[in-house]
Amino acid sequence: MNERLALYKERFGQKWNQFSKKQKWMIVGISSFLLISLGLYIFIAAQPVYKPLYNQQLSEHEIGTIKQELESLKIPYQITGNGTGIEVPEAMAQDVIVDLAAKGIPSEAGFNSELFSSTLGVTDRQFDVMKKGALQQELQNLLKRVQGVRNAQVIITLPQESLWVTQTPETATASVIVEVEPGTRLDQNQINAMYLLVSRSVPKLPMENIAITDQYSNPLERTDGNESEGSLTAFKQQEEIKAEVERKIQQNLYNLLGTIMGRDKVVVHTFIKMNFDKENRVENLVQAPDQENNEGLIISSQRLSKAFSGQGAPPGGIAGTGDNTVPGYPGNNTQGSNSQYEELNDTINREVNRITRNITASPYKIEDITINVGVEPPVDGELDDATIESIRQVLRNVVHVTLSDQGMTLTQEQLDQRISVLPREFSGKVTLDESSSISQPLLWGVGALAVLALAAVGFLLLRRRRQAAEVEEDVPFADAATNTEVPELMYQEDGDHVVVRKQLEKLARSKPDEFVVLLRSWLAED
């Protein structure tokens, strides 16, 4: 056994001596790194994984009570969330929850059904107090689910039930204080949602009887849906739409005029006036199917004709007789006189088209536009009147097409008032912001990354050259040995010398570095 160990030690020493000093240090470093990494992995894996006891935040009082119980049971724990949460090892979490629940801890973690487990001997007043407390607790837990709300406190005032019918029935009220997470701001939708949750959870509680504030006594007011249109967010949206329309008009004009005059010879500025009023209207129109004669379709027709001729009382009686007798009136003659009577009655019912239109007008309308164009004259001359007039005609067409959609018919003078062409020399290079162009900081970043990449490649190449130079210094005749052919050794074919010679030849051709090291060791032994 000892001889075998000595043999292994001797072989290991021979193999170890074959490495250079640099290779030995590299082997030692890699082995040390692997051992340290393995030790750290074992240490980290041996540490227990902590898990929160409860998914909701608790008060400092409850955390203190749980902490005392865990210390008495000698269970490791960690307090998180600035004193609002506690964690224990994952393997012990379930047992700890059951043990704490058996002791009634925490009492504020959720709805305690033990309040209603036994109502024997409880008066109606006491039961109402217990019911209101349970409702308040459930509302607090509900509001804690809102993102950005750390804690909540709710006080409800319920109306007293009465047998008498009154004109103004009593309603409930609610006061809520929410503790907002640091650095978090509740948006208007979240505030409106909290008002809706409280109002729907308590009977006879209108939204105007709810007061919600944050921990700094700042009221969180509820707003209607129509009020959001006049908020700052709507204003920013309108400004963005206006800027986008102006940018597109400027970009189109710049592409057109810049192609003709030169990219650095034209600058375009556009200002528009937009109407963001949204109109909803209902039109009830009635029109005849026959537009030429303005007549509808006949759906029914009735014609009556009456005629009388002769002596006697005409239809309807003699005027001035009967109930309407007038003394001395010639009509008192009962014999009557020759008379004629004719009555025509023609009734026609026609059908018309009844059209109901629900129209929602677009809130984005361009009411007016002004375009200013600056053109730099050529170096060896000035802009002629024909070129300026051509540019003005292009601008007139843009203004005419833009405002014609609004039903505006502008004269030549009105179009000229909305455009201007300024032939002036520019003091600097013309630049136009484009959505598709690459920003200057991005270009600098790409350039810096390219420089770093080139530096890294150069460093690697230089390092490889240095390593190759060091190898050449350690083995000065390695290259020569690579290209030098090994002379044929003359040995008898029926001996072990042939096998040794072939192995040496194979080693010299395939691995000249190791062959040189082997020769050095033989020379050192001699």
The pLDDT assigned to 475 comes to 47
**Beta-carbon count within 10 A of 43 CB:** 9
330-364 burial, b at 16+ Cβ within 10 Å, e below that, comes to ebeeeeeeeeeeeeeeeeeeeeeeeeeeeeeeeee
The pLDDT assigned to 116 comes to 55
Two structure tokens written together for 148: 């950005």
Would you say the C-alpha torsion 39, 40, 42, 43 has a positive or negative sign? Answer: positive
What is the Cβ-side half-sphere exposure of residue 327, based on CA atoms within 13 angstroms? 0
DSSP 377: P
**For the residues of 91-157, what is the DSSP string, one character each?**
GGHHHHHHHHHHTT--TTSS--GGGGT--TT--HHHHHHHHHHHHHHHHHHHHHTSTTEEEEEEEEE
The pLDDT assigned to 177 comes to 94
The pLDDT assigned to 228 comes to 46
The pLDDT assigned to 198 comes to 92
Closest alpha carbon to 367 in 273, 282, 257, 431: 273
Distance separating alpha carbons of residues 127 and 124, to the nearest angstrom? 5
Q: How far is CA 274 from the centre of its chain?
A: 27
Q: How far is CA 435 from the centre of its chain?
A: 20
Q: Is-cis flag, bond preceding 106, omega within 30? A: yes
Per-residue pLDDT of the chain (526 residues; tens, 9 = 90+): 677 788 888 888 888 888 888 888 888 888 888 889 888 888 887 778 888 887 766 777 788 888 888 888 888 888 887 777 888 888 888 888 878 877 777 765 444 444 455 566 678 788 888 888 888 988 988 898 888 898 899 999 988 776 666 556 788 999 999 999 888 888 888 899 999 999 998 988 998 999 999 998 889 988 875 544 445 567 788 888 888 888 999 888 888 888 888 778 888 889 888 888 777 778 787 777 766 666 777 777 888 887 777 766 655 665 556 665 666 655 545 555 676 777 888 888 877 777 888 777 777 788 888 999 888 887 777 778 888 888 888 888 888 888 887 667 788 888 888 888 888 777 755 554 444 444 455 556 656 666 666 666 667 677 767 766 665 555 444 444 444 444 554 544 445 666 677 777 777 777 777 777 777 777 776 6
Query: CA dist 13 to 3, 16, 318, Å?
Result: 15, 5, 157
Distance separating alpha carbons of residues 199 and 209, to the nearest angstrom? 9
Two structure tokens written together for 241: 């739409």
The length of the chain, given as a count of residues: 526
pTM: 0.34
Two structure tokens written together for 385: 């009147």
Distance separating alpha carbons of residues 275 and 362, to the nearest angstrom? 9
